[in-house]
C-alpha cells in the first residue's frame, strides 16, 4: 500500500522522466513518443502535453533571480537641468548614491559648483531621522582633510533634505580597477591617502561604514578623495525599516562590509579598516578577496571564506609585502585581531614594516559617535 503523497510523488517522477525523454528526443520521434504515453495513460499524457506547452512559454519565467531584480529597481524622479532648488541651480545628474540622486549644481550665492544630494524622503520622513541626519551632516562637515570630500551644508528646502558637498571630478577607483590591477606604487599611494582620511575621521569618532572603490575618487591632479564620510549612517539608520525598500531597494555587493556590519552589530573604526584591507588587495590583484557572483555567496565568503594569504598573489612584487600583510591583518574576522587604528598602519607602512606576528591587540578602539 502506498499513501496518496507517495503516489503523487511517483507520478511526478514519471512525468519528469517523460518530459525529458520528449525534450531530448529528435523532433521526428516526439509525436510517436507522446502517442505511446497517451495509449497507456491518457491523463498522464494530458499533463505531459500541458507541461511541454508551458515549457515553451516559460523561457523567461523566474530566470531573473528575485535578488537581481531588486538591483535594477527604478530610480527616483530627477530634477531637470537649470531647475532651481533654493539657491542651487541644477547643472546635471551626477549619479545615484545610497541616499538618493546626486546632482552637479551651482550654489548661486557663492558661484560655487557643488555635489547636491537629494536625500530620499524615506530617509528623512520623521523628526528622529531628520535629527539624525543633521547630526551626521554636522559631524561630517567638521572634517577638513585633503583626502576627504568636504560637506558644506545640509539644506531643508520644500520638505526635502539636500546635502551639499564638495564636487570631486575624476575617476573613481572602480573606474581605475576596470582597467585591471594597479601598480604597487599606485596601490601604496592610494592606500596611504585613504588611511590619512580614515585617521582624520576616526579621531573625531566618525566611521565611514561604506568604504568601497565607488566612493573613492582620484582627481586629475592625482589627489585621492574619499566621498560620503559619515553619510552612510543615514542609510544604515534605516536598518529594519520596511519603508526603505518601498521604492528602490538595491542589493549591491556586500563584499566590503565587515562581518560585524553584516551581522548588524555596532561598528567602530575597525570596520572601516576591514573595508580598507579588502580594497587594498583588490587594487593589487584586480580582484576583491571575497567577490562572488551573488549576494548569498559573497556573504558566505565574507563570513566564512578562506582568508587571503600572500602566496595567493604570485604576481604581486616583493615590495608590496608590507602592504599585503597589513591588508590581510585588517581582514581578520574579529575586530580585536585587526590593527587598532589607521594611524598605526600608516606609520608602519611609511617605515616599511610588516605587522608584528600573531598577537591580538585589545586596546580600546575609537568608537563611533552616535
Partner 1 sequence: MRRERSRSVEATDLVHEAYVRMAQDRPMAFKNRDHFVAIAAIAMRRLLVERARRRHAVKRGGHQVRVTLDDGLLNDEGVRNGVDLMTLDQALDRLAALDAVQARIVELRFFGGLSIEETADALSLSPATIKRHWALAKAWLFRELEVGWS
Distance CA 290, CA 302 (A): 6
Half-sphere exposure of 47 (CA within 13 A, CB side): 13
Residue 81: CB minimum distance to partner 1, A: 15
DSSP for 197-217? HHHHHHHTT---S--SGGGEE
Residue 24: CB minimum distance to partner 1, A: 9
Residue 39: CB minimum distance to partner 1, A: 23
CA dist 155 to 80, 165, 253, 369, Å?
Answer: 19, 11, 30, 22
**Span of 130-138, 163-171, 183-191, 338-346 interacting with partner 1 by CB under 8 A:** 163-171
Residue of the chain from 157, 300, 307, 369 that contacts partner 1 (CB under 8 A): 300
**Span of 54-62, 150-158, 330-338, 355-363 interacting with partner 1 by CB under 8 A:** 54-62
- The number of residues making up the chain comes to 370
Residue 320: CB minimum distance to partner 1, A: 26
Residue 252: CB minimum distance to partner 1, A: 3
- 65 lines the binding site for partner 1 (CB under 8 A): yes
Helices (H), the chain: 4-24, 27-40, 42-57, 66-71, 127-141, 173-177, 184-203, 232-236, 245-248, 259-262, 269-285, 295-304, 321-330, 342-350
274 touches 318 (CB < 8 A): no
Buried b (16+ CB within 10 A) or exposed e, 220-238: eeeebbbbbbbbbbbbbbb
Closer to partner 1 by Cβ: residue 206 or 320: 206
Residue of the chain from 22, 34, 85, 97 that contacts partner 1 (CB under 8 A): 97
Residue of the chain from 3, 57, 77, 318 that contacts partner 1 (CB under 8 A): 57
**Span of 162-170, 191-199, 331-339, 340-348 interacting with partner 1 by CB under 8 A:** 162-170
Closer to partner 1 by Cβ: residue 184 or 253: 253
Residue of the chain from 31, 46, 58, 183 that contacts partner 1 (CB under 8 A): 58
Q: What are phi and psi of 161, to 5 degrees?
A: -100, 135
* Contact pattern for partner 1 over residues 177 through 216, marking x by CB under 8 A: ---------------------------------x-x-xx-
Residue 133: CB minimum distance to partner 1, A: 14
Burial class (CB in 10 A: 0-12, 13-18, 19+), 15: middle
Residue of the chain from 29, 64, 157, 307 that contacts partner 1 (CB under 8 A): 64
Closer to partner 1 by Cβ: residue 5 or 127: 5
In the numeric block, the cell 549591491 is attached to 252
Closer to partner 1 by Cβ: residue 95 or 317: 95
- 170 lines the binding site for partner 1 (CB under 8 A): yes
Residue of the chain from 29, 35, 36, 72 that contacts partner 1 (CB under 8 A): 72
Using CB under 8 A, which residues numbered 221 to 280 contact partner 1? 232, 234-236, 238-242, 244-254, 257, 261-264
Closer to partner 1 by Cβ: residue 64 or 369: 64
Distance CA 351, CA 322 (A): 10
Q: Can 228 be counted among the known catalytic residues?
A: no
Residue 98: CB minimum distance to partner 1, A: 3
213 touches 282 (CB < 8 A): yes
The catalytically annotated residue of 158, 171, 210, 228 is 210
- 62 lines the binding site for partner 1 (CB under 8 A): yes
CA dist 241 to 233, 295, 302, 364, Å?
Answer: 14, 20, 24, 31
Q: What are phi and psi of 332, to 5 degrees?
A: -55, 140
- 113 lines the binding site for partner 1 (CB under 8 A): no
**Chain-centroid distance, C-alpha 25:** 46
CB atoms within 10 A of CB 69: 11
Catalytic residues: 210
Amino acid at each position: 500500500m502506498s499513501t496518496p503523497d507517495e503516489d503523487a510523488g511517483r507520478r511526478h517522477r514519471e512525468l519528469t522522466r517523460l518530459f525529458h525523454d520528449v525534450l531530448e528526443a529528435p523532433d521526428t520521434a516526439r509525436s510517436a513518443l507522446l502517442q505511446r504515453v497517451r495509449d497507456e495513460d491518457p491523463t498522464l499524457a494530458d499533463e505531459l502535453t500541458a507541461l511541454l506547452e508551458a515549457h515553451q512559454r516559460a523561457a523567461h519565467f523566474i530566470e531573473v533571480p528575485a535578488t537581481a531584480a531588486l538591483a535594477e529597481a527604478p530610480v527616483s524622479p530627477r530634477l531637470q537641468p537649470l531647475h532651481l532648488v533654493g539657491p542651487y541651480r541644477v547643472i546635471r545628474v551626477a549619479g545615484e548614491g545610497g541616499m538618493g540622486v546626486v546632482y552637479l549644481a551651482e550654489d548661486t550665492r557663492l558661484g560655487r559648483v557643488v555635489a547636491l544630494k537629494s536625500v530620499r524622503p524615506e530617509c528623512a520622513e520623521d523628526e528622529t531621522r531628520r535629527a539624525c541626519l543633521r547630526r551626521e551632516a554636522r559631524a561630517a562637515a567638521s572634517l577638513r582633510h585633503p583626502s576627504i570630500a568636504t560637506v558644506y551644508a545640509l539644506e531643508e528646502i520644500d520638505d526635502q533634505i539636500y546635502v551639499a558637498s564638495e564636487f570631486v571630478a575624476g575617476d573613481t577607483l572602480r573606474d581605475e580597477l576596470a582597467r585591471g590591477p594597479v601598480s604597487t606604487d599606485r596601490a601604496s599611494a592610494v592606500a596611504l591617502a585613504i588611511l590619512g582620511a580614515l585617521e582624520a575621521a576616526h579621531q573625531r569618532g566618525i566611521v565611514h561604514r561604506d568604504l568601497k572603490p565607488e566612493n573613492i575618487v582620484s582627481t586629475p591632479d592625482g589627489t585621492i578623495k574619499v566621498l560620503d564620510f559619515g553619510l552612510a549612517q543615514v542609510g544604515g539608520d534605516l536598518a529594519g525599516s520596511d519603508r526603505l525598500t518601498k521604492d528602490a531597494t538595491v542589493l549591491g555587493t556586500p563584499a566590503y562590509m565587515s562581518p560585524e556590519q553584516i551581522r548588524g552589530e555596532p561598528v567602530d573604526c575597525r570596520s572601516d579598516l576591514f573595508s580598507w584591507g579588502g580594497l587594498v588587495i583588490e587594487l593589487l590583484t584586480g580582484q576583491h578577496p571575497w567577490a562572488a557572483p551573488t549576494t548569498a555567496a559573497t556573504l558566505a565568503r565574507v563570513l566564512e571564506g578562506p582568508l587571503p594569504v600572500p602566496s595567493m598573489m604570485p604576481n604581486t612584487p616583493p615590495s608590496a609585502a608590507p602592504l599585503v600583510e597589513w591588508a590581510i591583518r585588517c581582514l581578520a574576522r574579529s575586530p580585536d585581531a585587526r590593527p587598532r587604528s589607521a594611524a598605526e598602519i600608516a606609520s608602519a607602512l611609511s617605515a616599511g614594516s610588516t605587522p608584528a606576528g600573531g598577537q591580538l591587540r585589545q586596546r580600546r578602539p575609537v568608537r563611533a559617535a552616535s
